[in-house]
Structure 1
Amino acid sequence: MIKCMATDMDGTLLNGKMEVSEENRRAIKAAQAEGVEVVVATGRSYVEARYALDQADIHCPIICANGAEVRDVSGEVIKHSFIEKETATRIFQMLKEMGLYFEVHTAKGTFTDDYEKALDIMVNIFLTAHSEIPQDQIREAAKIRFTKGLLHLVDSYEEIINDEDTAVSKFLAFSFKKEKLDEAKTQLALMQGLAVSSSGSENIEITHSDAQKGIALEQFIREKGITFEETMAIGDNFNDVSMLERVGFPVAMGNANPEVKALCNYVTATNDEDGVAAAIEKLIGVENHENFS
């Protein structure tokens, strides 16, 4: 019997329009009504995750920034694993020297030092899924990150990195050149105490080594008296692997990376086809799991 369900957001719970579909919303609510502990496990900051969930009136605990923060349903921080200041400085200098655009996630919010670049990145990512939508319309939608306070502009990252009262939870670096990201991964591998993953082919996510979804989920369910054998996880990319490889019911999205699919016992529909809802309907409360494909 499944007692806990952990779901990724981007590419999983959210469709290509960055929204929770009505089918997914209803399925989440139905699972909660049956007593299933639903937790969102995302690379997003708490504020960005909460913004999308509020639109769908979904209330649940959230594993944020790949596990750097875990918050209960009321938003209180119950666990955190931040990057040490000296290490954060080294990462910052390395990414700057490589000329990579990146954003800095902290306990106080997410920051960028380049407004136009932040918009360009979001527009390009969105266009890959929705080329039929006019670019200027997509650009206006991307500005919501600023107007809603989901992303803050700073003159320089030094004021964030060097602030002793600001804890860095994640660096999110972007490039549409695979070789640039691979080079960054090689350099990051030389630094101790880090976890490097990705939520898409155009980015890498850098966190403390303890800030991984699987580690955070393990602690979360243990405190609830739930085992991994009673837990289902749904995801689509490499930052989901640490939880997918641990749970008794690992589910890959239809749009998941092929390597991620290979790790899972189950494959559901895509994020634009209400894949989370399909997984919930097939697995939660259904005894004959072999019929799921």
Structure 2
Amino acid sequence: MDGTLLNDQLQVSNKNIEAIQKAQTHGIEFITATGRGVSHAIISLDRANIHVPMILLNGAQVVNAKRETIFTIPIGKERTRAVLDALDRADLYYEVFTADHVYSENQPERIDFISGHLLKKVPGLSKKMAIAVSSEHLALTPLTYVDNIRQVLQETDEEVLKIIAFDKHGPETLKAATLELEKIGNLAIAASELTNIEINHEDAQKGIALKQFAEQRGFSADQVMAVGDNFNDVTMLRYAGESFAMGNAVDEIKQVAKHVTDTNEENGVATAIERVLSEEL
């Protein structure tokens, strides 16, 4: 969704909506695949009146069009504790996703991170305005702020499906933490931005979930198209018979995908759909 289906204002453009509807009238099934949880994903999708199955949390949860859970792949309690310990040692801000909640221990740090991200995305935006927009965005985003995430998880017995950690300085700062996390084992560590790492069970990946979703409906890989822009899309792009990297995708993703479409600000998803419907490929 982010950087692909959504533009920089976190909206689905009219052209993308029209292209999705056109594909559906041709009998093509459309499914979103995102690192977001369901409560975050539906904010933009509901505004666009898009009600489709969703691969969520990088493949840790899949829901049908009625938003009923088909399956989940949790990280596991002991492994979750080890991940949180590693992130604490690295002094990284993180959020913990379950099927029903997104937990955070630090609201000011979350606002600071989002506002910094906006300042890079929107030239000319003042720091004060960025903070105001970030606060407004978070007010619409269902985050649950708690004093102690570990304690809440123990009391509620919720299964952790994804953990995301942020650092505004980017990949070099996150590299050391990633190396520590890799020692834990049985984890999939990817990124949806250069300033984060996303941690799932090794079997919770977009490509694995997309393959299972397709096969349940009798489709083979050569009947599937995928569009993405960042590292958590790699397995999905490699699986699909036709794959598109967004024009705004990182260079490594453009090398993985078979084709490159327009940017998320230029309705790249619509362009990719139109290329397939016109039998250009």
The answer to whether the superposition gives a TM-score over 0.5 is: yes
What SS class does the counterpart of residue 150 from structure 1 fall into?
coil
Residue 279 (structure 1) aligned with residue 269 (structure 2)? no
Q: Which residue of 2 aligns with 1:121?
A: 113
Q: Which moved more, 1:143-152 or 1:35-44?
A: 143-152
- The 8 Å contact of residues 195 and 207 in structure 1, kept in 2 or not, is answered as yes
Deviates most, 177-186 or 223-232? 177-186
Instruction: Report whether the alignment pairs 1:194 with 2:187.
Output: yes
Give the whole-Å Cα distance in 2 for the aligned partners of 1:87 and 1:35: 42
2:113/2:168 contact within 8 Å kept:
no
Residue deviations 1:26-57, cap 9 Å, x none? Answer: 11121112211100000001110011101111
Matches for 1:106-185 after TM superposition, within 5 Å: 106-163=98-155, 165-177=157-169, 178-185=171-178
**What's 1:206 paired with?**
199
**Root-mean-square deviation (CA), in Å?**
1.3
Larger fraction in helix: 2
Aligned pairs for 1:241-256 within 5 A: 241-256=234-249
Q: Pick from 36, 40, 48 the counterpart of residue 56 of structure 1.
A: 48
Q: CA–CA distance in 2 between the matches of 1:231 and 1:125?
A: 33
Figure out how many residues of one structure are paired with residues of the other and give that number: 280
- Where do 1:38-117 residues align within 5 Å? 38-117=30-109
SS, match of residue 199 in structure 2: strand
- 1:195 counterpart SS class: strand
Using CA pairs under 8 Å that are at least 6 residues apart, name the structure with larger relative contact order, 1 or 2. Answer: 1
Instruction: Tell me the TM-score normalized by structure 2.
Output: 0.96
- Indicate which of 218, 222, 234 corresponds to 1:225: 218
Moved over 4 A (4+): none
Q: Which runs of 5+ in 2 are unaligned?
A: none
The DSSP-based 3-state class of the residue aligned with 2:30 is: strand
List gaps (5 residues or longer) in structure 1.
Answer: 1-8
**Cα contact 1:145–1:151 (8 A) shared by 2:** no
- Cα-to-partner distance string for 1:144-196 (whole Å, 9 max, x where unaligned): 45433521111111223324521101110011233221001101111121100
* 1:18 and 2:10 matched: yes
